[in-house]
């Protein structure tokens, strides 16, 4: 079989570049087999090989997996991620539908306004958000504004604070839905389909590939987000995996020399579930992309 | 299936109109805006509560001086903004945010696009390539910046060890502005290019193959096909990629916080990092608010500029033309 | 049309905002009054308990402490439960918790017992450490939602100066002044009142590598006593090392770790960060000699390690047996053991005509914030941590020095002579990092930049620091 030169070129670039992409992870895997002492004594090369490899760092993670609390962290992370994914996809899809298919005065202005909200640097709202949560009316022992903890340190932080409005997703859906011919809607109307059916039975399946993309990016952002649990909750039973791991690594770095191999292993620990989820979704994602011809 | 919008609108309608026929007429005439309101209303309300409100609060603080937690804020008109454009620490940080952001976005898009072109070839094992390139996107920033720091350590850094082995003087990365920016950009590219490539790939695959066939029949060569079919076809995804890329890149701070800490001599400090320090460590909420507004304005202007310049023709086209007549 | 709609939305938003702003303003006032009115009563309650019957149960039983992950038992929840869980874990698998963890558990148990005997229930919230902790504490203080005890290092004096912390009531103030070594609370004294105390703080002392001393022909049992001796020895070690090992490192990077370690030398020479009015005096004549000394010392350090933004650049050569002399906190003793370094220890060398000075490092100051719901319980917790039982436990663990005179001067002195050196250093002229009245991080940034310039360039030192002084004076003005 003859290989086309362009394909050979593609193979070389993608493979070499891909190896560069995963190289830090390879380094992490290698470094995680070091003991703290050996790591400190080694002159690090690009591929450090431990003379006395240890799985003690992994064992900490595996051992932790048996821990009741860690299981709670895991399920918190999982539910939180699922919740955000469902919400973000739904709002993105519906929002995209509105801006792609409906006609009303001030649409462009409204769209620009919503797009603008995505450009606000998030840090500015952090302290005001904290105050708002603490003063949430009639929650957590509050009377109208005062008295208790508000919704701080409760599941509401994840329920309310997580999703909001996924304008960038809506933007993406809008772009792709605009390529679906309007005649499809008309035909459905003539067949007597309600708006509800039009949205969910006819337009939704066509947007699945793009929704898969939104779902993956949302899942990844939510999973890696340690800020929300860290700032707005304190109880153990509300922590998520990344937040808990950040804590463990703060023990690893406290007082004196950081235990790099342990930290690196924990870093792998955060990444691994997400990689699994990506692999799981990826088939759907790639499959979706394949028929994402969005038959125009 | 019952039409949901009818049910939910009925109560309101009966107040304004005499009967269901009136409502039906009203609904038919304003169908789009009603559906839009039903969908967007709750979303906007939710957004207002969760982030609109706190953000407005943060922005308004830009007009106040609030030095201490226990003191009450003092209204100072535009003092914070004037200070922003007088103090090089702020306007230089803004400038750095902009040019590093543009550089990162540009490189990200360019490299991502080239990679996507290659990924779009029918190669054996392309799923593996896609995954390899996407891996950095799913890693956590805290962990991977640590790895970069291990690479850049001056005493036992992987890169310096290599340089030493080749017989050269090791480089003191942390004391050079150029290298600091270089590594921030390299990290951002490493982290972002895979996601961008997949996005471009989605765009490339969305181009209708029939168009290519048509171009081939017209006798177009590879370059002409690329120019006349591929590029126009990926324009919608390009708009998305540029806007998200820019928003993300101008707001980078984690790589700065974890890799250079703004050093050396504060010359890699970007504006969001400054806002973070102002807000939490100096409790200077006024400057944090004012800086946020400025940064927001800059991103917004860029976006509007982009829309006006490049996106006007296909974004503004109305897909529903002629619809009402037919109803 | 679009514009009109946007303007309407904006105006509506502003209106709603204004209403809530007023609302919260009102409630703020109410809160202030409330806390003002509870103040005398709580202090009187405190004095009532002090005056005698500690047998009566306290009104508010729960005390929420804000621990950091490295302290006591990690995790959040009822401390009694946390202790039980950890003990169960150790019972199942003795190796699941390391030695340090077991020692921390012992400390937590002792403290919990003292509190339980007084009728209090300890609850713990893990708020992390360093930057994230400062962020969370700031947010919590703005929202007036704090635990009863907050711990912090460099940020705590600033909170005290802003009036966010409750001064110790007279009985505790007196107890601390009489029984606790100065270095543990002096950094938290503000306008004559104590706002916090550290239960096991560290200070820097001098360490040297005996092995490298021998290789360089120096007496391994005798460290330098003066700055000039230090420079001489460093030079010798550096020459003997020929690039394989180096003379000295004093970590001086542009971050808190650097300020805490390198800031000691100006103090020794009679200078410092600030004058008595808390105004920066970076270009003080006496500081210049210290900065010159650090620049000289840097010649004998691994290139770029002293002023590096990352502490790892300093730890790495030290742990790899590549540095002759350095200064570090008490944890270095156990690290010498784990890294198999043969360490000598002694007081920090002094300049000619200088006097001993130090800066607390790794000190977690515990304070009661003004918004605490159970202030009395908070102070009782501080008292409990300073009780003989708990301090004895800290002494026995042998990682850090206790702070009460009774325990430290007891058999601890003979059992842990190395750690006793840290206790001794805590007795002298010990400070914390100052918090500047305005633009705190920016002022520190200027300091850090000037320090990096001092070490990494050949510019005139006086000029570097004059420039820095001009800059920061404009900031704090």
B232/B106 same-domain check:
yes
Interface check for C339 against chain B (CB to CB < 8 A): the answer is: no
Query: Which pLDDT value is given to residue A212?
Result: 82
Question: If phi over 0 gives left and psi between -120 and 50 gives alpha, with beta otherwise, what is residue C243?
Answer: left
**Best CA proximity match to A212, nearest among A277, A276, A164, A163:** A277
Report the mean per-residue pLDDT for chain C: 81
B219/B268 same-domain check:
yes
Interface check for B312 against chain A (CB to CB < 8 A): the answer is: no
Query: Which pLDDT value is given to residue B90?
Result: 92
Report the mean per-residue pLDDT for chain B: 81
C303 closest CB neighbour out of B172, B266, B279: B172
Over chain C, what HEC string results? CHHHHHHHHHHHHHHHHHHHHHHHHHHHHHHHHHHHHHHHHHHHHHHHHHHCCCCCCCCCCEEEEEECCCCCCCCCEEHHHHHHHHHHHHHHCHHHCCHHHHHHHHHHHHHHHHHHHCCCEEEEEECCCHHHHHHHHHHHHHCCCCCCEEEECCCHHHHHHCCCECCCCHHHHHHHHHHECHHHCHHHEECCEECCEECCCEECEEEEEHHHHHHCCCCCCCCCCEHHHHHHHHHHHHHHHCCCCEEEECCCCCCHHHHHHHCHHHHHCCCCCECCCCCECCCCHHHHHHHHHHHHHHCCCCCCCCCCCCCHHHHHHHHCCCEEEEEECCHHHHHHHHCCCCEEEECCCECCCCCCCEEEECCCEEECECCCCCHHHHHHHHHHHCCHHHHHHHHHHCCCCCCEHHHHHCCHHHHCHHHHHHHHHHHCCEECCCCCCCCHHHHHHHHHHHHHHHHHCCCCHHHHHHHHHHHHHHHHC
**DSSP assignment string, A79-133:** HHHHHHHHHHHHHHHHHHHHHHH---TTHHHHHHHHHHHTTS-GGGGHHHHHHHH
Residues 83-102 of chain C whose Cβ lies under 8 A from any Cβ of chain A: 93, 96
B207/B175 same-domain check:
yes
Burial C242-255 (b: 16+ CB within 10 A, else e): eeebbbbbbbbbbb
Q: Which of B50, B154, B155 to mutate to test the interface with C (most CBs of C within 10 A)?
A: B155
Query: Which pLDDT value is given to residue B10?
Result: 43
B120/B226 same-domain check:
yes
DSSP B64: E
Under a CB-based contact definition with an 8 Å cutoff, are residues A242 and B140 in contact? yes
If residue B313 lies in a helix (H) or strand (E), which one and from where to where?
helix B312-316
Chain A residues touching residue C23 (CB < 8 angstroms): 144-145
C8-44 pLDDT, tens per residue? 444 444 434 333 333 333 333 333 333 333 333 333 3
Question: Is B14 a domain residue?
Answer: yes
How far is B145 from B263, CA to CA, in rounded Å? 15
Looking at chain A, which residue has its C-alpha nearest residue C86? A67
Interface check for C126 against chain A (CB to CB < 8 A): the answer is: yes
How confident is residue C473, by pLDDT bands cut at 50, 70 and 90? very high
Going from the C-alpha of C123 to that of each of C76, C77, C104, the distances in angstroms are 7, 5, 16
B101/B30 same-domain check:
no
Looking at chain A, which residue has its C-alpha nearest residue C316? A40
Peptide bond into B264 cis (omega under 30): yes
How far is B46 from B241, CA to CA, in rounded Å? 26
**C373 is written with which tokens?**
């719901």
Chain B residues touching residue C313 (CB < 8 angstroms): 153-155, 174
Structural domain including B152 reads 78-317
Query: Which pLDDT value is given to residue C34?
Result: 35
How far is B54 from A127, CA to CA, in rounded Å? 8
CATH 3.40.190.10 segments of chain C: 62-201+362-427, 203-360+436-476
C331-358 pLDDT, tens per residue? 888 788 878 889 999 999 999 988 899 9
pLDDT at C442 over 60: yes
Our CA-based measurement puts residue A190 at a distance from the nearest CA of chain C, in whole angstroms, of: 33
Mean pLDDT within C276-304? 92
Residues 23-42 of chain B whose Cβ lies under 8 A from any Cβ of chain A: 31-33, 35-36, 39-40
B83-107 pLDDT, tens per residue? 999 988 899 999 999 999 999 999 9
Our CA-based measurement puts residue C420 at a distance from the nearest CA of chain B, in whole angstroms, of: 33
Question: Is B181 a domain residue?
Answer: yes
Interface check for B60 against chain A (CB to CB < 8 A): the answer is: no
How far is C352 from C368, CA to CA, in rounded Å? 42
How far is C294 from C305, CA to CA, in rounded Å? 13
Domains of chain A, first to last: 67-238+273-291 (1.10.3720.10)
pLDDT at A1 over 70: no
Which of the given ranges, A4-18, A166-180, B241-255, C206-220, has the highest pLDDT on average? C206-220
| pLDDT above 70: percentage of residues in chain A | 83
Query: Which pLDDT value is given to residue B9?
Result: 39
Chain C residues touching residue A63 (CB < 8 angstroms): 93, 96
Query: Which pLDDT value is given to residue A188?
Result: 83
Question: Is B73 a domain residue?
Answer: no
Q: Which CATH class is domain C62-201+362-427?
A: alpha beta
A182-221 pLDDT, tens per residue? 888 888 888 877 888 888 888 888 888 778 878 888 888 8
Q: How many domains does chain B have?
A: 2
Query: Which pLDDT value is given to residue C58?
Result: 64
Print pLDDT tens along chain B (327 aa).
334 344 333 444 444 445 557 777 787 778 888 888 888 888 888 888 888 888 898 899 899 988 777 778 889 889 999 999 998 889 999 999 999 999 999 999 999 999 999 988 888 887 788 888 988 988 888 788 888 888 988 888 889 889 988 988 888 888 888 999 999 999 999 999 988 888 888 778 777 778 888 888 888 888 888 888 888 878 777 887 888 888 888 888 888 888 888 878 888 899 999 988 888 778 888 899 999 999 999 988 988 888 787 755 544 444 443 333 333
B100/B171 same-domain check:
yes
Higher per-residue pLDDT: A294 or A76: A76
The single residue listed with the structure tokens 């009603």 is: B34
Checking DSSP bridges between strand C121-126 and strand C62-67, what pairing results, if any? parallel
B153/B275 same-domain check:
yes
Interface check for C78 against chain A (CB to CB < 8 A): the answer is: no
Q: What is the CATH number of the domain that holds B133?
A: 1.10.3720.10
Q: Largest alpha-carbon pair distance within chain B?
A: 91
ipTM of the complex: 0.82
Q: Please, which residues bridge with residue C344 across strands?
A: C208
* Topology of the domain covering C203-360+436-476: D-Maltodextrin-Binding Protein; domain 2 (3.40.190)
Query: Which pLDDT value is given to residue B8?
Result: 38
**Best CA proximity match to A161, nearest among A171, A172, A170, A153:** A153
B54/B126 same-domain check:
no
């Amino acid at each position: 079989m003859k290989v086309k030169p362009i394909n050979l070129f593609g193979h070389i670039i993608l493979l070499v570049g891909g190896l560069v992409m995963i190289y830090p992870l390879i380094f992490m895997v290698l470094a995680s087999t070091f003991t703290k002492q050996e790591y400190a004594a080694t002159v690090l090369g690009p591929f450090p090989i431990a003379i006395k490899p240890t799985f003690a760092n992994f064992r900490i993670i595996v051992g932790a997996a048996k821990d009741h609390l860690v299981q709670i962290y895991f399920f918190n992370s999982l539910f939180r991620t699922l919740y955000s994914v469902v919400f973000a996809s739904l709002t993105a899809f519906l929002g995209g539908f509105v801006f792609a298919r409906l006609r009303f005065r001030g649409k462009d202005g409204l769209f620009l306004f919503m797009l603008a909200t995505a450009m606000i640097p998030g840090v500015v709202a952090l302290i005001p958000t904290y105050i708002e949560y603490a003063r949430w009316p009639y929650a957590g022992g509050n009377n109208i504004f005062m008295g208790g903890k508000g919704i701080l340190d409760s599941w509401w932080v994840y329920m309310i604070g997580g999703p909001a409005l996924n304008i960038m997703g809506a933007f993406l859906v809008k772009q792709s839905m605009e390529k679906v011919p309007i005649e499809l809607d008309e035909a459905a109307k003539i067949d007597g389909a309600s708006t509800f059916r039009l949205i969910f039975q006819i337009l939704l399946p066509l947007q699945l590939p793009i929704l898969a993309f939104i779902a993956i990016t949302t899942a990844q952002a939510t999973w890696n987000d340690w800020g929300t649990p860290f700032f707005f909750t304190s109880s153990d039973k509300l922590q998520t995996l990344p937040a808990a791991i950040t804590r463990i690594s703060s023990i690893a770095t406290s007082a004196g020399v950081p235990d790099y191999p342990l930290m690196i292993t924990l870093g792998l620990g955060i990444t691994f579930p997400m990689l699994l989820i990506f692999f799981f979704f990826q088939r759907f994602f790639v499959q979706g992309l394949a028929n994402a011809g969005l038959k125009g | 299936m019952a039409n949901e919008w009818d049910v939910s609108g009925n109560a309101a309608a009966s107040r304004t109109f005499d009967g269901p026929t009136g409502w039906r007429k009203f609904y038919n005439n304003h169908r789009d805006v009603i559906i839009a309101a039903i969908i967007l209303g709750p979303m906007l309300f939710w957004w207002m509560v969760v982030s609109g409100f706190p953000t407005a609060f943060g922005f308004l603080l830009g007009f106040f001086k609030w030095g201490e937690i226990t003191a009450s804020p003092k209204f100072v008109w535009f003092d914070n903004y004037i200070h922003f454009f007088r103090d090089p620490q702020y306007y230089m940080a803004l400038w750095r945010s902009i040019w590093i952001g543009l550089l990162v976005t540009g490189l990200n898009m360019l490299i991502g696009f080239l990679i996507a072109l290659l990924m779009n070839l029918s190669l054996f094992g392309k799923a593996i390539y896609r995954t390899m390139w996407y891996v950095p996107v799913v890693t956590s920033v805290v962990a991977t910046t640590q790895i970069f720091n291990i690479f850049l350590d001056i005493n036992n850094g992987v890169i310096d060890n290599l340089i030493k082995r080749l017989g050269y003087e090791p480089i003191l990365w942390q004391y050079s502005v150029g290298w600091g920016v270089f590594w921030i950009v390299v990290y951002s590219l490493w982290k972002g290019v895979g996601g961008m490539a997949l996005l471009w790939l989605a765009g490339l695959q969305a181009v209708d193959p029939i168009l290519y066939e048509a171009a081939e029949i017209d006798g177009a060569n590879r370059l002409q096909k690329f120019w006349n079919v591929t590029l126009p076809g990926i324009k919608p995804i390009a708009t998305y990629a540029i806007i998200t890329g820019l928003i993300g890149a101008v707001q980078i701070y984690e790589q700065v916080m974890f890799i250079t800490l703004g050093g050396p001599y504060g010359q890699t400090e970007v504006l969001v990092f400054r806002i973070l320090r102002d807000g939490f460590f100096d409790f200077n909420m006024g400057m944090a608010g004012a800086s946020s507004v400025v940064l927001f304005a800059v991103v917004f202007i860029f976006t509007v500029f982009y829309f006006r310049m490049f996106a006007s023709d296909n974004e503004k086209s109305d897909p529903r033309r002629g619809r009402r007549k037919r109803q | 049309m679009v514009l009109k709609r946007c303007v309407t939305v904006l105006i509506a938003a502003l209106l709603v905002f204004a209403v809530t702003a007023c609302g919260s303003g009102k409630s703020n006032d109410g809160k202030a009054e409330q806390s003002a009115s509870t103040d005398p009563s709580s202090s009187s309650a405190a004095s009532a308990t002090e005056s005698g019957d500690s047998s009566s149960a306290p009104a508010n039983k729960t005390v929420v402490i804000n621990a950091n992950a490295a302290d006591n038992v990690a995790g959040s929840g009822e401390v009694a439960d946390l202790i039980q869980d950890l003990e169960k874990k150790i019972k199942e698998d003795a190796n699941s918790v390391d030695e340090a963890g077991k020692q921390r558990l012992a400390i937590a148990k002792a403290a919990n017992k003292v509190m339980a005997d007084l009728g209090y229930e300890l609850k713990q919230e893990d708020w992390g450490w360093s930057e994230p902790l400062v962020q969370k504490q700031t947010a919590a203080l703005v929202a007036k939602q704090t635990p009863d005890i907050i711990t912090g290092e460099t940020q705590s004096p600033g909170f005290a100066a802003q009036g966010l912390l409750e001064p110790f009531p007279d009985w505790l103030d007196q107890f601390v002044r009489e029984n606790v070594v100065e270095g543990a609370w002096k950094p938290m004294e503000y306008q004559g009142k104590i706002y916090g105390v550290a239960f096991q703080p560290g200070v820097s002392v001098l360490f040297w590598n005996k092995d490298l001393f021998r290789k360089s022909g120096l007496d391994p049992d005798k460290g330098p006593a003066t700055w000039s001796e230090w420079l001489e020895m460093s030079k010798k070690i550096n020459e003997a090392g020929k690039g394989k090992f180096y003379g000295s490192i004093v970590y001086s990077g542009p971050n808190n770790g650097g300020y805490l370690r390198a800031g000691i030398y100006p103090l020794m020479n009679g200078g410092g960060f600030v004058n008595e009015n808390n105004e920066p005096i970076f270009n003080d004549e006496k500081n210049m000699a210290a900065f010159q000394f650090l620049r000289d010392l840097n010649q004998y350090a691994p290139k770029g390690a002293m002023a590096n933004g990352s502490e790892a650049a300093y730890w790495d050569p030290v742990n790899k047996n590549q540095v002759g002399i350095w200064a570090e906190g008490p944890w270095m003793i156990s690290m010498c053991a784990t890294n198999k370094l043969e360490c000598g220890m002694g007081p920090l060398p002094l300049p000619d005509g200088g006097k001993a000075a130090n800066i607390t490092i790794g000190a977690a100051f515990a304070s009661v914030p003004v918004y605490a719901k159970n202030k009395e319980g908070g102070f009782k917790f501080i008292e409990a941590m300073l009780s003989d039982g708990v301090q004895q436990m800290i002494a026995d663990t042998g990682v850090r020095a206790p702070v009460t005179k009774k325990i430290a001067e007891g058999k601890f002195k003979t059992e842990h002579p190395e750690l006793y050196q840290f206790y001794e250093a805590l007795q002298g002229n010990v400070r914390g990092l100052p918090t500047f009245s305005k633009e705190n991080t920016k002022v520190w940034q200027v300091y850090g930049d000037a320090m990096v310039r001092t070490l990494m360039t050949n510019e005139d030192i006086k000029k570097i620091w004059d420039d820095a002084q001009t800059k920061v004076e404009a900031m704090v003005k």
